[in-house]
Every structure is written in structure tokens, then in C-alpha cells.
Amino acid sequence: MDNFFKKLRPLHEFIREKRWAGHIMLLVEDTMNNFISYLYVKRKIDISFLNNLPKNNLWIICVAFNNSILIKKQIESFRKNAGSEITLIIADNSSDKNKRDIIKTICEQEKICYIDLPKNPRTQASLSHSLSLNWIYYNIIKEEQPFAFGFIDHDIFPLSKIDIKEKLNTYDAYGLKQERNRDDIHTWYLWAGFCFYRTAYLNSFKPNFSSVAISNWKNSIGLDTGGGNFERVYKNSNIKVLFAKKQIDSNGSEIIDNWMHIAKASFKSQDDIDNIIKKI
């Protein structure tokens, strides 16, 4: 399905600039994506083993995708920098079954909680990622109600002690702020690759971690994964957020507070990734 829409992208972009026609198209597209997300979230797997995880902890969910080397390093960095109040969960959204098997084996050997997410119907990266995050929130976080939770990409690693739970004792949320503005449209949201929340705060909302387009008949603007929470969570609430600071190091990697993000890891060679993670 995503390949079909990819072929229509030139037409898609042309219509989006036609104001009212683009607005209607975006409404249709948003409705379709929400329906697909709804159906995917309804897919059930056995996750009863999560009942044994400590509910007073901060659950950090790393979404894996076809790279076991990154997951190995992720687990290693957590062993070094996470205290007893942090629970790491690997949620596998890999499209390659063999890669899923390898990642599952690593987690079993390291005694890390592993979740084999239902096969994702979307192939476009941000759409696939969005579905996985919505599934995790509504099937795991909303049901299990840990004190706090967060999402990280598989190429983000803590460089020193993780103190996020302490931050969430004061703030409702913490993460990397994304701002998208165009003329009279002004938006912000927490990037879905590095975002953390007190679960109790989000209970009064219906979070949507999808990538979306915001339109007001005159203009439209695209928001990446997590952008759906602009209107669902951030826009009209009094949420107290602590924003992380980002810098770029000499390797082109991002330093987000005391975490390293290998930017665009999916497009780097394995040798380049190996060279970077050796320095972590």
C-alpha cells in the first residue's frame, strides 16, 4: 500500500498546495491512517509476562528495527548506566524475520524483556514506526500503568547515569522538542525517538504518536513521528515539559543531554556504525 502512495507522491504534493483541495485530501489521509492504526492496535499477542515487571519503575521501550548490533550496544550501555529503577524493554518492529530471531535470542541471553510486535502493515519508515508506538502505548502502557515510560530509537545510547525518573518526579514529560512552523501554523511536539512521560498525566488524553499533517484550509505542515500529539496532548494542555538540549559532535552524531544519537543510522554502513559505537 505504501509503495502505491509513493508512486503518487508528485500528484500528492501538487494537490497539497491547492489549499482547500489539499485540506480535504489531508483530512482523508489522516482518517485513513487513523483507521489503519486503530486496526493494528487491536491486534493482540501474549504479553502476560509484563505483569512481573516493577510498576514503580521507568519503563524505557527501545523500538528495534533490523539491526542486532545496535541492540547489543543498547543493552550494554543500559547495563552500565541504568539503575534498578529503570526497566529496558525491546519492542521488535523488524521487517526481516531472521533479524527478529537474532534480536530475540540476544534479549533472551541478556535477560532483557523482548516483545515481538505484530507484523507491521506499513513499509514507509515513519508510518511503520508510528503504528508500533501506538500499539505499545495502548496495549502495554495504558494496560500496565507503570509510573513512567519513554520511547527511544535503537540508535540512541546513554553516556552516563540515566536520571530521567528523577526529572519526571517534577515534570509531566521530558524529551527533545521539535518545532514546525509555516506562516500562521505554529506547532511543537516531543520527537518520538527520545520522549518520556509520567503515565498518570497521559491517562486523561488519547495520545497519537503518528506522523501527521496539520492543515487550516490555507496552509499545511507535516509533523514527523510523534507529531499527532500536538493536537491530542500539547496544544491546549498545561503540560510541564523539560526539553533536552542537542549538540552535534565531530562524528556528525547528536548529543541529546547525556545520550548519543547516531543520526540516520539506517542509512550508514555497518562499518561506520561499528566505528561510532566503539567510542561510546
The one-digit pLDDT tens for each residue of the chain (280 residues) are 555 445 445 555 555 555 656 556 667 777 787 788 888 889 999 899 898 899 999 999 999 999 999 999 999 999 999 989 999 999 999 999 999 999 999 999 999 999 999 999 887 888 899 999 999 999 999 999 999 999 999 999 999 999 999 999 999 999 999 998 887 889 999 999 999 999 999 999 999 999 887 777 677 778 899 999 999 999 989 999 999 999 988 777 889 999 999 876 666 677 777 777 776 7
C-alpha cell at 206: 488519547
State which fold the 2-277 domain adopts: Spore Coat Polysaccharide Biosynthesis Protein SpsA; Chain A (3.90.550)
Cβ-contact 55, 83 below 8 angstroms: no
Look at residue 244 and give its three-state secondary structure. coil
Q: Count CA within 13 A, CB hemisphere, residue 56.
A: 3
Q: What is the pLDDT of residue 5?
A: 47
C-alpha cell at 92: 521488535
Q: Count CA within 13 A, CB hemisphere, residue 171.
A: 18
Look at residue 52 and give its three-state secondary structure. helix
pTM: 0.87
Look at residue 264 and give its three-state secondary structure. coil
**H-helix or E-strand containing 33?**
helix 20-41
Any idea where the domains of the chain sit in the sequence? 2-277
Burial class (CB in 10 A: 0-12, 13-18, 19+), 143: exposed
Q: CA 38 from chain center: how many Å?
A: 17
Q: What is the pLDDT of residue 184?
A: 81
Cα-Cα-Cα-Cα torsion 78, 81, 84, 87, nearest 10 degrees, comes to: -30
